[in-house]
Amino acid sequence: MCCALLLVANAVQADAPARVLTGYVSRVMDGDSLVLRSAGGDIELRLAEIDTPEKGQPYAENSRRALQGMLLGRRIRAEVLERDRYGREVARVYRLPEELWVNEELVRRGHAWVYRRYVRDPHLYEVEREAREQGRGLWALPEAEREAPWKWRKAHPGPARRDQAASISSRRSSSNGSRTIVHRSGVAAASRRSAAEPPSHTA
């Protein structure tokens, strides 16, 4: 009994957000990353547990526009889970005031894949399966054009890395020029990854 309670407690702790942020979305860069404008400054967020097509892939712009339509100028709450290798806060994002879980909604509408390597909520697999069966969003594309983003990045490491680094460098330069503060405080990583996996998101 004690062991069971300990396992449950550990599971809850692993999914507990390191911190919670609120503010307005001032920019959407692609289908799974955005800038949150809070009282403390601009914070780059990467949506947790999902992955959207990269620039150069079919449906990449569709995913970006979908997220933009859902969140640009809207107030959100972000439950930060960890920080990725690019300095972005990886978070579950909820649109206020209706508390719409945006990460899940993007999968539901067929604008995003469940990110197999980093998913924490298995319910998202069922949401993706339904979107796939209904042919929503990217699932309406021919099968040959529906390559998982993480597989595409592995096959195109040069362009994907350069685009990501250039995009983030540009955003930070722009922020510095306008005297915008970007948070860089520490965030305790909470993850269920295996030891063989890298320490943070790659895109």
- Residues with a catalytic annotation lie at 46, 54, 88
Structure tokens at 156: 């195109």
Assigned token pair, 2: 């004690």
